[in-house]
C-alpha cells in the first residue's frame, strides 16, 4: 500500500456543512480548523460521532486527521466530518468499503432544512384560519 501521496483525502457533507478531510500517518490526533476536537466541539458525543469510522476500521490511533469544515452547526459538521473520514479511509483501502457501507458512513445524509414559503409562517405552518 505504499503510495506516492502523503495523505488520503475525503469530502464529507451533512445538512449545510462541508468538511474537507485529510488522513495522515500519525498518532491519532484530530485537528478541526486548527483546534483540537475538545476545543472545537466541547461535547464528547460529537467526538464519538466523528471517530466512529476510525473505530470501525480498527485504526483509531494509526492516523492523524486534519479537517477544514464550513457551514451548518456543530451537529451537522460532526456528521460531515464522519462522512469525509469514511470516504478517505475507503480511498486509502478499498477493502474497508463493505464495513463502512454496512455502518452507514458512506451514505450522505441528505436531510436539510426546508425553506420558508411565501404566505406561510414557516415552511408548512399556515396562518390561523378565522371564520369572521
Cβ distance 64 to 7 under 8 Å? no
| Helix (H) and strand (E) counts in the chain | 4, 5
- Neighbouring CB atoms inside 10 A of 15's CB total 18
Task: Please report where in the chains the cell 475507503 appears, as a residue.
Answer: 90
Digit-by-digit pLDDT tens for the chain (132 residues) are 555 568 999 999 999 999 999 999 999 899 999 999 999 999 999 999 999 999 999 888 889 999 999 999 999 999 999 999 999 999 999 999 999 999 999 999 999 999 999 999 999 999 999 998
In tens, the pLDDT along 3-38 reads 556 899 999 999 999 999 999 999 989 999 999 999
Q: Where are the beta strands (DSSP E) in the chain?
A: 8-14, 17-25, 30-32, 35-36, 63-70
Is the whole-model pTM more than 0.85? yes
How much of the chain exceeds pLDDT 70, in percent?
96
Amino acid at each position: 500500500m505504499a503510495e506516492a501521496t502523503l495523505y488520503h483525502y475525503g469530502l464529507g457533507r451533512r445538512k449545510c456543512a462541508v468538511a474537507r478531510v485529510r488522513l495522515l500517518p500519525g498518532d491519532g490526533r484530530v485537528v478541526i480548523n486548527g483546534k483540537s476536537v475538545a476545543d472545537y466541539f466541547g461535547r464528547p458525543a460529537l467526538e464519538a460521532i466523528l471517530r466512529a469510522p476510525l473505530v470501525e476500521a480498527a485504526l483509531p490511533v494509526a492516523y492523524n486527521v486534519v479537517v477544514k469544515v464550513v457551514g451548518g452547526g456543530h451537529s451537522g459538521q460532526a456528521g460531515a466530518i464522519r462522512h469525509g473520514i469514511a470516504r478517505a479511509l475507503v480511498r486509502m483501502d478499498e477493502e474497508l468499503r463493505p464495513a463502512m457501507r454496512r455502518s452507514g458512513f458512506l451514505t450522505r445524509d441528505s436531510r436539510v432544512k426546508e425553506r420558508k414559503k411565501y404566505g406561510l409562517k414557516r415552511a408548512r405552518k399556515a396562518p390561523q384560519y378565522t371564520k369572521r
